[in-house]
Amino acid sequence: MRDSYKRVDRLVNCFPQKKTPIKRNRLQQNDLDDKESNSLKEEQQLKEKLCLFISYIKQLKEQ
């Protein structure tokens, strides 16, 4: 009987410890998602700047 109580206690004690890594993983995933979206925005801005630069160079060549 005591063994079963010990087992239950061990199981119950395991759960709070598992919640922390799950929260940490969620936070890390959110951070990664934010970085990804920022990276995509930055990439898009750089592409636009590059296109403007290329068009400017073409205009200069035509003159």
For the stretch 1-13, pLDDT in tens is 567 778 877 777 7
For the stretch 30-50, pLDDT in tens is 999 999 999 999 999 999 999
Q: Write down the pLDDT at residue 5.
A: 76
User: What is the number of domains present in the chain?
Assistant: 1
CA distance 28 to 17: 17
Integer CA distances (angstroms), 55 to 5, 20, 46, 60, in order: 76, 52, 14, 9
Q: Where in the sequence is the domain holding 35, given as residue range(s)?
A: 1-63
> Coil, strand or helix: which one is 56?
helix
User: What is the CA angle 12-16-19, rounded to 5?
Assistant: 135
The overall pTM is greater than 0.75: no
